[in-house]
Structure 1
Amino acid sequence: MPPPRKVDLLPAELKGWLQQSLRARGFSGYDALAEELNLRLEEEGLELRIRKSALHAYGQEYEEFVKYQDEASAWAAGWMQEQGLEEEAKRHNVLFQMITTLAFKVMQAQMVKAGEEIDPKELHFLGKMLKDVMASSGIRETLARDLRKAQAARLEAAVAGGDIDAEAAAKARRILGFE
């Protein structure tokens, strides 16, 4: 098994700083970035030093990740705008499947590592992401249920007020799916 990449050995705070810096610099300026990063490592008393070539390789990988993340976000936003409320559960199911696939890939990558190499933070973030999607799905289902109840109440009020007859109201309930 190959040794871990030096970038993967960075403390979480420095890795976050590196990712922000890569974005801010437009994924360029690796010479200056390597100097800044190594200065920060030295200031923190860490022996680790990372060369420009390693940063460039990581930067390209991270840039691709950011690109896919942005594309997925744009696609999901567009898709959600095109769909109606009744499609919410289906969308959440698809998004949950996408996240589950990503989770599987992350877990697969973690499985080849020895126990001490596994980063618990990665697993924590993965679990949190899955939990948030599941909670969001529950919220959407509650919203849809509340909307159906409100529509049913308005329909009943229309029947009581004489705006619509009971037969038409029953037909509307069947069509709208909240009998």
Structure 2
Amino acid sequence: MPPPRKVDLLPEEQKTWLKDALKAGGFAGYEQLADDLNARLEDAGITLRIGKSALHTFGKEYSEFVRYQEEASAWAADWMKDNGLEEEAQRHNVLFQMITTLAFKVMQHQMTQTGENISPQELHFLGRMLKDVMSSSGIRQKLLADERKRVAEEATKAERERVAVAMDGAIAEAGLSAELASDLRAKVLGVSR
């Protein structure tokens, strides 16, 4: 197993600063960024030093990660909006981003491998994870469709009851026979009383 990259050895605070600086600088200016990072490390009493080429490699990977994450977020928001799941989209956004990030990391790792180093097991797990996400969205759609159907049925039942009460009042005012009233209810409401 290869040794960890120097960027991966950065304390979390410095790594967060580096990511923010990369975004703010438009993923450019690596020489100045290396000088700034190394000065921060020195001020913090950390002996680790990172060169611009290592930062460039990390910056390129992180840029792709940010782009994929933004695309995945935009796609997820659009998809959920198109399917009437705006509120649910807000609740599930964090989970979806975490899954997307994990999938990206696995794909990124596999893209750097060659031949026998490619792990079929990792690819299998990635495929299974994506399948589960897609399956979950199908289940969610079915639950929403069932809920919409239930609400529509309740509204129909309430409307029939309202019409039945109105018919009973009209029948009483008209003084119709019980047999004629029953026939009218059956024709109008589709039920007998």
TM-score class, shorter-chain normalisation, is 0.5 to 0.7
- 2:154 maps to a residue whose letter is A
SS at match of 1:3: coil
Paired position in structure 1 for 2:6: 6
TM-score norm. by structure 1 comes to 0.58
Paired position in structure 2 for 1:114: none
Mark the structure with the bigger radius of gyration.
2
Q: How far apart, CA to CA, are the structure 2 residues paired with 1:100 and 1:166?
A: 55
Distance of aligned partners of 1:104 and 1:9 in 2 relative to their CA distance in 1, 3 Å threshold: closer
> What residue ranges of structure 1 are gaps of 5+ in the alignment?
110-132, 168-179
- 1:154 maps to a residue whose letter is A
TM-score norm. by structure 2 comes to 0.54
Alpha-carbon RMSD across the aligned residues, in angstroms, is 3.7
Paired position in structure 2 for 1:158: 159
Q: How far apart, CA to CA, are the structure 2 residues paired with 1:155 and 1:47?
A: 73
Q: How far apart, CA to CA, are the structure 1 residues paired with 2:154 and 2:101?
A: 38
Identity value in percent:
50
Is the CA contact (8 Å cut-off) linking 2:65 and 2:104 kept in structure 1?
Answer: no
Q: How far apart, CA to CA, are the structure 2 residues paired with 1:44 and 1:65?
A: 28
> What residue ranges of structure 2 are gaps of 5+ in the alignment?
111-132, 165-187
SS at match of 2:77: helix
Is the CA contact (8 Å cut-off) linking 1:159 and 1:165 kept in structure 2?
Answer: yes
Is the CA contact (8 Å cut-off) linking 1:159 and 1:166 kept in structure 2?
Answer: no
After TM superposition, give the deviation of residue 36 of structure 1 in Å.
1.2
After TM superposition, give the deviation of residue 104 of structure 1 in Å.
8.6
After TM superposition, give the deviation of residue 23 of structure 1 in Å.
0.4
- 1:51 maps to a residue whose letter is G
Is the CA contact (8 Å cut-off) linking 2:72 and 2:100 kept in structure 1?
Answer: no
1:7-156 aligned at under 5 Å gives the runs: 7-84=7-84, 99=100, 102=103, 105=106, 144=144, 149-156=150-157
Distance of aligned partners of 1:77 and 1:9 in 2 relative to their CA distance in 1, 3 Å threshold: same
Q: How far apart, CA to CA, are the structure 2 residues paired with 1:65 and 1:80?
A: 22
- 1:79 maps to a residue whose letter is W
Q: How far apart, CA to CA, are the structure 1 residues paired with 2:12 and 2:50?
A: 15
Q: How far apart, CA to CA, are the structure 1 residues paired with 2:30 and 2:101?
A: 34
Q: How far apart, CA to CA, are the structure 2 residues paired with 1:103 and 1:22?
A: 19
After TM superposition, give the deviation of residue 157 of structure 1 in Å.
1.4
After TM superposition, give the deviation of residue 101 of structure 1 in Å.
6.8
Q: How far apart, CA to CA, are the structure 1 residues paired with 2:156 and 2:147?
A: 14
Q: How far apart, CA to CA, are the structure 2 residues paired with 1:45 and 1:20?
A: 21
Q: Which moved more, 1:49-58 or 1:156-165?
A: 156-165
Please list the CA deviations of residues 79-109 of structure 1 after superposition, one character each: whole Å capped at 9, or x if unmatched: 2233346xx8xxx8xx69x659728929x89
Paired position in structure 2 for 1:175: none
Is the CA contact (8 Å cut-off) linking 1:34 and 1:55 kept in structure 2?
Answer: yes
After TM superposition, give the deviation of residue 73 of structure 1 in Å.
1.6
Paired position in structure 1 for 2:185: none
